Homo-oligomer: A and B are copies of this chain.
Amino acid sequence: MNMTEWVDTHVPDWLSQQRGSKKVAIEYEGEFWTYGQLYERAGRLAGYLASLGAQAGERIALLARHGLVFANTVHSIIQLEAILVPLNTRLSATELVWQLRDAGVHMLIYDSDHRELAQQVVESLRTSVAAGPIEVELDGVHWNEDELPIYHEYIVLTATQSLMYTSGTTGRPKAARISYKNQLWGALGSALRLGVQPDDRWLTPLPLFHVGGQSVLLRSVIYGTTAVVHAAFDPVKVNQALCEQGVTLVSVVPVMLSRMLGEQTEPYPNTLRNVLLGGGPAPRLLLDVCIQQHVPVSQSYGLTEANSQVATLSIEDSLRKIGSAGRALAFTEVCIMGEDGPVDPYQEGEIVLRGPTVITGYENNPEADERAFRNGFFYTGDIGYVDSEGYLYVLDRRADMIVSGGENVYPAEVEATLLAHEDIMDAGVFGMPDERFGQLPFAVVKVRLGVTLDIAELKKFCRKHIAGYKIPRKIVCAAELPRNASGKLLRRELLKWL
């Protein structure tokens, strides 16, 4: 490797660069760690894990919701030059066993809240794999002043930082191979779109084991700013953090934001400069309410395979381009692909991506790679279009699209319409097989407490906003809709329900 190649693939370690800073690196449920503390503790935990047998290049799984355990582990694994496999704490033991085996995990770290689940998983693995992974329980947070710390000096950009299993809204989970390069460019592209300020405090009530949460941790260290982590989403607590604790940025999905606004009577203070709204197309009504109430919302389109953000609407465009997920971030290319190649503005097609935040592939899954990567572009499976100024409009997952009597029906659009009705708290739409029409749109809704739903009236309401063929043929009530840990609707589950 010559010096130019070396410079192109190495950057000084992010955490080590911040070690002299007196700023808070991470805040979790009232506890604060400065950058100096995080640096020292990550180094000592790295030393501890090495003493237990962890080595560079190995896969280390993490089953935890505790924000400090999570941050400490993420950064100690970076210092060790090992690979993080963050686990979804909502999965069953069987699902976790499958992922640990798929990823070839050598060590499983868990917090005390997940001891039982972790031990079940390890036991099950021991019956099939010779030794099974090394177990490490971090009771609260581990840091031992006698531990010999381990630090590395450079981050190798081409190395894998984590194997991130996709949320699994479709098919069996695939492990997206997230590199340090993906992390760095994700941070840089996001900074140029959202701006970055030395006193930024970025709150994530999203789980850290998904890309939306983890990226907040990594970006904050790259920027030298503060990550604020909540143990679980609680709208009152989030509002408190925004109003009283100087949070400047917050990452949420539409259902979370709806609930936050439902609890909030005062306008948010000026310290809050961006509400990053991901996790699928946002209902128009929600965006309208945000604009009326001067909530600085940035609709965003992202996915695990692009290390979260792909496109994000700037605050200054939030009115002019309402409903759009904005332009692609500075270093990401978004292209709309039809049957015969790229299509013109306003024409619908599959959203395909290229750029330094896009993964090089799925781990150990050549079939998935072959489907997703073609001609150097990543095929997202999402449908959308761009306008004449290059602003992206995301319609839906291609796999969720309903074709009814030859017409395309996008569940997201129908759901947004249902949600615009004052009695509807949540809605899910999916395609029901039909002999005559191919598919028909069906809906499951959650109704406001104490209200009896008038289905005829609701259909009439829909008719005012969308074409007749889009109106759900059947509307069923449910107490709660199936959503994954990130708040994403699991449409496939709805079909199973009926």
Contacts and interface: CB of A to CB of B under 8 A. Distances in A.
Contacts of A391: 20
Interface residues of A, number: 38
A321 to B, nearest CB: 9
Nearest to A377: B3
A490 interface: no
B192 A223 contact: yes
A195 interface: yes
A471 B453 CA distance: 90
A355 B3 CA distance: 10
A333 interface: yes
Given A4-B360, A6-B376, A192-B222, A389 B198 contact: no
B222 A330 contact: yes
Contacts of A356: 7-8
B330 A11 contact: yes
Contacts of A230: none
A356 B358 CA distance: 21
A331 interface: yes
A45 B111 CA distance: 62
A224 interface: yes
A191 interface: yes
Nearest to A333: B12
Interface secondary structure of A, over-half rule: mixed
A492 interface: no
Given A3-B376, A11-B330, A330-B222, A196 B198 contact: no
Contacts of A389: 20
Given A17-B330, A20-B390, A198-B315, A354 B11 contact: no
B20 A327 contact: yes
Contacts of A17: 327, 330
Contact of A191 (B6, B191, B376, B390): B191
Interface string A380-398: 0000000001110000000
Contacts of A196: 191-192, 195-196
Interface string A283-302: 00000000000000000000
Contacts of A355: 7
Interface in A337-359: 354-356, 358
A188 interface: yes
Contacts of A197: 195, 197
A314 interface: yes
A306 to B, nearest CB: 12
Given A20-B389, A356-B8, A195 B192 contact: no
A31 interface: no
A316 interface: yes
Contacts of A223: 192
A144 B360 CA distance: 45
Contacts of A222: 192, 330
Contacts of A11: 330-331
6 closest pairs, A vs B, by CB? A3-B376, A20-B389, A195-B197, A195-B198, A188-B188, A195-B196
